[in-house]
């Protein structure tokens, strides 16, 4: 929103103050200022010039040769404007002056020297009108500086609308002026209005509020005999500076009032609209708004009607049919208050956001409707004294906000601020902002003014903001707290995440990525990854991406495919959330998962698979001192390899999966590469208790190692073989390592190194032989024999 400091000056005297500095304080105390513009600051040597003579240019039909009296002398000027004529007074830029974005120099125009320029309003920067020269009053003394005639010089600043969302009172100049009054300690002038009580004897306007839910107040007045059609220059300049196009006096006045008080108004041509109903229609219908668009209006949209016919979308925009036109001489003036939510929703549905709807959305103060009419009439009668009021001001006040009174003591303020703001300053600030504040004993009492009471200020904490923002946050002394100290344990989840990240990045050189919580439907389809139905977004960007992920692999595999030219070998991982369907109560079963995917063009799938297996084992061992085991399982997802898919178990619990890819999916990613992927439930994993280190005295005696090479029947897996030494107690057996493996498809053999150790003596072969014999016997029972 654009704010004119000249306009502010109507209500608070800021003379002698540094305006830019004030605007900066406004940012810090009230709302963010985006930009400051110095209007008219470039104009130089622009004066009233009287056109004395007009002659035709010898070589041009459009151009004229003028003699212009600019007070100091007579200038010869070449001018192309259509409305030049003798005796008219226009803005004139003398040779060497500046206007219209350029310096005016002596120049030959079509062969004739010109020593200045006559200006349009557009060249003065006070409107977009460049159709012809601006005409000044005939009695203007030639030579008078244009900036003395009109308030062209102004400082205009743009407030970020977002920072005003909760301040309905700041959507007009008067409210902003109140802030400047509070910031400077200068008084706010009362608003000059016209007392309309003299017309109370006239007939009322016929106003029927049929929807009392969405219309809070509707005030109307009828006026006739309006003679003036064009707004005064001063008003047009302000409107233009504040971003509004001047149209005609009545339309301009409603806009002016909205910019001044924040109260949207609407002027109906009384010849077309002379009674009002506020209601909704039971069926949708088409309605042509002022902007000539035909819009579909539905049954939830509040409408202003006259004799049953819709004439305006309440709070948003008038209809084309009842528009004020140049020959309008009587009007029905609307000043109303509508439900904020209803206006916002209607405006969204219609795709039509206007200056009025933007204001209504903020929950305007209904007390303003009558004030706005009184102010409107004050301005109108000043401009056009002939106008006649032909109805009494008719007011249907459906819903009034309650008066809010708050009380608090000084210690409350001190506790919130942490600093000492004096009683006097508290009272002064609040009163300047219109809160009637007083102090009795230790208690401050505050009456919240109506313009802050619609939603903005409701509790005493709101008062703290008023006091502190005017005090200035820059003036706060900053201090640390006096809170008690106590040790904080890192939570297990955070610790596990960080540990896993460090391990995978630093030991295994993987790259951490982040992917979306929904599947990329198109990409998955390209890769042949069939994702399962899951909880869906109701309003996804594209319908293809509406399904939430139930596991990590698909999004990671998409990344693997996109990165396949990054390096011949790489691995990625993500710790992120998935949704494993819904719980019994219908809520999402959200889990935190670690997903890993490895890609290689140089290593076999088998190597890759076992290095991924090692990563998971290391993670379990290092963080939780828990053995991680793997159990072959049938694939759960179509992208998993039918043979090489396994469950991951930690601490007696299934916590994830590991798999090679189904050849069909792998082929879509890269025909020449190997890809494996794994997933671990980090919520479950973090919950595994970690044990302390159990220290064992090292043996003073050397151990004994014995290698056994075994022939294994096809289909027998290690977890079965190891039962030969794990299902019985062999006190001397310390560890068994796999030292060699061989499998040519016909014969499979594994070589193990058995390591024996005693804490009492150096072992001899004879002492370990009974254990070895027993193990071999157990193996024999499984059909496993020593290799010949």
Partner 1 sequence: MKEKIEQLKMRIAEELQSAGDSETVEKIRVAYLGKKGSVTELLKGLKELSGEEKKEAGQQINALKKYAEEHISARIAQIKAEELQRQVDSAEEYDVTLPSRNVQGSYHPITLVQRQVEEIFASMGFTIEDYFEIVDDYHCFEALNIPKHHPARDMQDTYYLDNGQLLKTHTSAAQNAIMKKYGAPLRAIFPGRCFRNESTDACHENTFFQMEGMMIDKDISISNLIYFMKTMLSHVFQQDINVRLRPGFFPFVEPGFELDISCLICGGEGCPSCKNSGWLELCPCGMIHPNVLKAGGIDPEEYTGFAFGLGLTRLAMMKYGVKDIRDLNSGNLKALSQFVHE
Q: How many Cβ atoms from other residues are within 10 Å of residue 370's Cβ?
A: 19
Query: By the 8 A CB rule, do 346 and 215 touch?
Result: no
Among 132, 204, 493, 635, binds partner 1 (CB under 8 A): 493
Binding test (CB under 8 A) with partner 1, winner from 17, 128, 505, 664: 505
Min separation Cβ 299 and partner 1, Å = 18
Instruction: Specify the residue, 220 or 595, whose C-beta has the smaller distance to partner 1.
Output: 595
| Cα 637 from Cα 654, distance rounded (Å) | 17
**Closer Cβ to partner 1, 27 or 644, answer by number:** 27
The yes or no reply on residue 20 touching partner 1 (CB under 8 A) is no
- Name which of 292 and 539 has its Cβ closer to partner 1: 539
Closest distance between partner 1 and the C-beta of residue 630, in Å? Answer: 24
Residue 669 near residue 523, CB atoms below 8 Å: no
Using the minimum distance from each CB to partner 1, give the nearer residue, 192 or 537: 537
The answer to whether 345 and 150 are in contact (CB under 8 A) is no
Whole-angstrom Cα distance, residue 7 to residue 261? 12
Q: Cα–Cα–Cα angle for 604, 606, 607, nearest 5°?
A: 70
Distance CA 482, CA 555 (A): 48
Name the one range near partner 1 by CB under 8 A: 5-13, 158-166, 254-262, 729-737. 158-166
Name which of 500 and 768 has its Cβ closer to partner 1: 500
Minimum distance from CB of 354 to partner 1 (Å)? 17
Q: Which positions from 517 through 536 interact with partner 1, judged by CB under 8 A? A: 517, 535-536
Q: Is 87 exposed, middle or buried (0-12, 13-18, 19+ CB in 10 A)?
A: exposed
Residue 365 token pair: 């103060």
Size of the site for partner 1 (CB under 8 A): 86
What's the N-to-C CA distance of the chain in angstroms? 93
Which residues ranging from 178 to 237 are in contact with partner 1 (CB under 8 A)? none
Taking the least distance from each CB to partner 1, the nearer of 102 and 505 is: 505
What is the C-alpha separation between 254 and 266, in angstroms, rounded? 6
Residues 24-43 that bind partner 1 (CB under 8 A): 27-32
User: Least distance from C-beta 732 to partner 1, angstroms?
Assistant: 41
According to CB under 8 A, which residues from 587 to 606 bind partner 1?
587-588, 590, 592
Min dist. Cβ of residue 184 to partner 1 (A): 18
Task: Indicate which single residue of 292, 506, 691, 764 sits in contact with partner 1 (rule: CB under 8 A).
Answer: 506
Pick 479 or 691: Cβ nearer partner 1: 479
Q: Least separation, in Å, of the C-beta of 453 and partner 1?
A: 15
Nearer to partner 1, 421 or 666 (CB): 421
Nearer to partner 1, 335 or 547 (CB): 547
- Minimum Å gap between C-beta 588 and partner 1 is 5
CB 78 within 8 A of CB 178: no
By CB under 8 A, residue 509 contacts partner 1: yes
In order of 103, 510, 530, 558, 563, the CA distances from 597 in angstroms are: 68, 9, 17, 10, 12
What sign results for the dihedral spanned by CA atoms 75, 78, 81, 83? positive
Residue 368, Cβ density class (10 Å: 0-12 exposed, 13-18 middle, ≥19 buried): buried
CB of 283 to partner 1, least distance (A): 25
Longest CA span, the chain: 135
Stretch that binds partner 1, among 184-192, 208-216, 337-345, 446-454 (CB under 8 A): 337-345
Q: Which stretch binds partner 1 (CB under 8 A): 100-108, 140-148, 313-321, 564-572?
A: 564-572
510 touches partner 1 (CB under 8 A): yes
The answer to whether the CB of 62 falls within 8 A of the CB of 110 is no
Determine the Cα angle at 355 with ends 352 and 360, to 5°: 90
Q: Where are the alpha helices (DSSP H) in 447-491?
A: 460-471
Name which of residues 275 to 334 contact partner 1 (CB under 8 A): none
**Least distance CB 519 / partner 1 (angstroms):** 13
Q: Which residues contact 658 (CB under 8 A, 6 or more apart)?
A: 609, 612, 613, 616, 630, 645, 646, 648, 676, 677, 678, 679
Residue among 114, 391, 515, 771 that touches partner 1 (CB under 8 A): 515
Distance CA 360, CA 313 (A): 13
Report the residue from 225, 275, 498, 726 that binds partner 1 according to the rule CB under 8 A: 498
C-beta closer to partner 1: residue 200 or 474? 474
Site for partner 1 in 459-488 (CB under 8 A): 459, 461-462, 464-465, 468-469, 473-474, 476-486, 488
Q: DSSP label at 191?
A: P
Q: Which of 55, 201, 441, 490 binds partner 1 (CB under 8 A)?
A: 490
Residue 225 or 494: which CB sits closer to partner 1?
Answer: 494
Considering the complex, state which of residue 30 and residue 645 has its C-beta at the smaller distance from partner 1.
Answer: 30
Closest of 364, 14, 370 to residue 185, by C-alpha: 14
User: Can residue 562 be called a binding residue for partner 1 (CB under 8 A)?
Assistant: yes
Smallest distance from the beta carbon of 582 to partner 1, in angstroms?
6
Lookup: tokens for 494: 């955070």
Q: Which of 197, 424, 539, 691 binds partner 1 (CB under 8 A)?
A: 539
Binding to partner 1 in span 395-434, by CB under 8 A: 415-419
How many other β-carbons are positioned within 10 Å of the β-carbon of residue 375? 24
Residue 365: CB partners within 8 Å, gap ≥ 6?
Answer: 168, 169, 337, 450, 451, 453, 454
**Contacting partner 1 within 682-721 (CB under 8 A):** none
SS3 state of residue 173 = helix
Using the minimum distance from each CB to partner 1, give the nearer residue, 197 or 479.
479
Q: Of 376, 559, 609, 639, which lies in the binding site for partner 1, with binding defined by CB under 8 A?
A: 559
Residues shown for the chain: 788
Q: Taking the CA atoms of 579, 583, 587 and 591 in sequence, report the sign of the dihedral they define.
A: negative
- The nearer residue to partner 1, 96 or 418, going by C-beta atoms, is 418
Position 73 contacts partner 1 (CB under 8 A): no
User: Does residue 501 touch partner 1 according to CB under 8 A?
Assistant: yes
Stretch near partner 1 under the rule CB under 8 A, chosen from 51-59, 301-309, 574-582, 722-730: 574-582
- Would you count residue 165 as binding partner 1 (CB under 8 A)? yes
Position among 38, 514, 700, 765 found at the interface with partner 1 (CB under 8 A): 514
As to burial, measured by CB atoms within 10 angstroms (0-12 exposed, 13-18 middle, 19+ buried), residue 145 is middle
Please report how close the Cβ of residue 504 comes to partner 1 at its closest, in angstroms. Answer: 7
Neighbours of 402 (CB within 10 A): 7
C-alpha angle 381-385-391 in degrees, rounded to nearest 5: 60
448 binds partner 1 (CB under 8 A): no
Least distance (Å) between residue 572 CB and partner 1: 7
The answer to whether 516 contacts partner 1 (rule: CB under 8 A) is: yes
């Amino acid at each position: 929103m654009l704010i004119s400091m000249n306009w502010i000056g109507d209500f608070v005297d800021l003379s002698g103050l540094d305006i830019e500095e004030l605007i900066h304080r406004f940012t810090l105390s009230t709302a963010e200022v985006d930009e400051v513009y110095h209007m008219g600051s470039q104009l130089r040597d622009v004066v009233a010039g009287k056109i004395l003579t007009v002659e035709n240019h010898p070589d041009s039909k459009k151009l004229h040769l003028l003699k212009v009296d600019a007070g100091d002398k007579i200038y010869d000027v070449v001018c192309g404007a259509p409305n030049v004529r003798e005796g008219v007074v226009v803005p004139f830029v003398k040779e060497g002056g500046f206007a219209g974005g350029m310096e005016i120099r002596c120049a030959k125009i079509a062969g004739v020297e010109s020593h200045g320029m006559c200006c349009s309003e557009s060249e003065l920067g006070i409107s977009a009108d460049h159709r012809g020269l601006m005409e000044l009053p005939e009695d203007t003394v030639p030579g008078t500086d244009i900036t003395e005639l009109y308030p062209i010089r102004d400082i205009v600043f743009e407030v970020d609308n977002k920072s005003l969302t909760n301040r309905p009172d700041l959507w007009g100049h008067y409210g902003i002026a109140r802030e400047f009054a509070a910031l400077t300690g200068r008084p706010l002038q009362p608003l000059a209005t016209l007392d309309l009580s003299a017309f109370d004897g006239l007939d009322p306007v016929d106003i029927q509020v049929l929807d009392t839910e969405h219309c809070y107040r509707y005030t109307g007045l009828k006026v006739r005999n309006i003679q003036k059609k064009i707004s005064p220059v001063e008003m047009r300049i302000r409107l233009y500076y504040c971003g509004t196009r001047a149209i005609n006096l009545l339309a301009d006045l409603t806009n002016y009032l909205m910019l001044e008080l924040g109260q949207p108004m609407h002027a109906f041509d009384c010849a077309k609209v002379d009674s009002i109903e506020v209601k909704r229609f039971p069926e949708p219908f088409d309605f042509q708004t002022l902007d000539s668009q035909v819009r579909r209006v539905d049954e939830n949209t509040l409408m202003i009607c006259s004799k049953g016919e819709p004439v305006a979308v309440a709070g948003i925009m008038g209809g084309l049919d009842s528009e004020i036109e140049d020959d309008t001489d009587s009007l029905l003036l609307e000043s109303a208050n509508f439900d904020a939510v209803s206006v916002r929703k209607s405006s969204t549905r219609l795709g039509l956001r206007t200056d009025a709807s933007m204001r209504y959305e903020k929950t305007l103060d209904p007390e303003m409707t009558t004030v706005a009419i009184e102010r409107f009439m004050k301005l109108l009668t000043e401009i056009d004294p002939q106008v006649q009021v032909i109805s009494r001001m008719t007011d249907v006040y459906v819903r009034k906000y309650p008066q809010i009174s708050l009380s608090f003591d000084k210690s409350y303020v001190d506790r919130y601020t942490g600093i000492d703001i004096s009683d006097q300053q508290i009272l002064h600030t609040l009163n300047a902002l219109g809160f009637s504040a007083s102090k009795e004993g230790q208690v401050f009492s505050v009456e919240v003014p109506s313009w802050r009471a619609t939603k903005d200020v409701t509790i005493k904490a709101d008062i703290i903001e008023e006091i502190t923002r005017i005090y200035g946050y820059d003036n706060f002394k900053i201090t640390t707290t006096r809170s008690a100290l106590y040790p904080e344990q890192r939570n297990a989840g955070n610790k596990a995440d960080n540990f896993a990240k460090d391990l995978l990045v630093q030991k295994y050189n993987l790259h951490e990525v982040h992917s979306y919580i929904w599947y990329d439907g198109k990409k998955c389809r390209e890769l042949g990854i069939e994702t399962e139905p899951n909880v869906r977004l109701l309003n996804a960007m594209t319908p293809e991406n509406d399904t939430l992920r139930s596991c990590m692999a698909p999004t990671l595999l998409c990344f693997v495919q996109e990165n396949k030219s990054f390096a011949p070998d790489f691995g990625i991982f993500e710790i992120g959330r998935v949704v494993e369907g819904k719980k019994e109560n219908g809520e999402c079963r959200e889990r935190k998962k670690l997903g890993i995917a490895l890609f290689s063009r140089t290593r076999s799938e088998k190597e890759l698979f076992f290095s991924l297996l090692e990563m998971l084992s290391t993670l379990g061992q290092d963080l939780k001192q828990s053995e991680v085991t793997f159990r072959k399982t049938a694939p759960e997802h179509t992208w998993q390899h039918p043979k090489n898919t396994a469950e991951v178990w930690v601490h007696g619990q299934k916590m994830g999966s590991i798999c090679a890819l189904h050849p069909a999916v792998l082929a879509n990613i890269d025909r020449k590469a190997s890809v494996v992927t794994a997933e671990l439930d980090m919520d479950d994993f973090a919950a595994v208790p970690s044990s302390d280190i159990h220290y064992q005295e090292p043996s003073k005696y050397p151990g004994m190692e014995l290698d056994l090479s075994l022939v294994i029947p096809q289909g027998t897996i290690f977890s079965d073989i190891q039962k030969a030494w794990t299902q019985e107690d062999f006190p001397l057996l310390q560890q068994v390592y796999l030292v060699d493996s061989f499998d040519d498809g016909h014969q499979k053999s594994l070589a193990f190194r058995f390591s024996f150790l005693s804490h009492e003596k150096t072992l001899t072969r004879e002492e370990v032989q009974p254990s070895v014999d027993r193990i071999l016997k157990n193996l024999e029972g499984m059909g496993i024999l020593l290799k010949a």
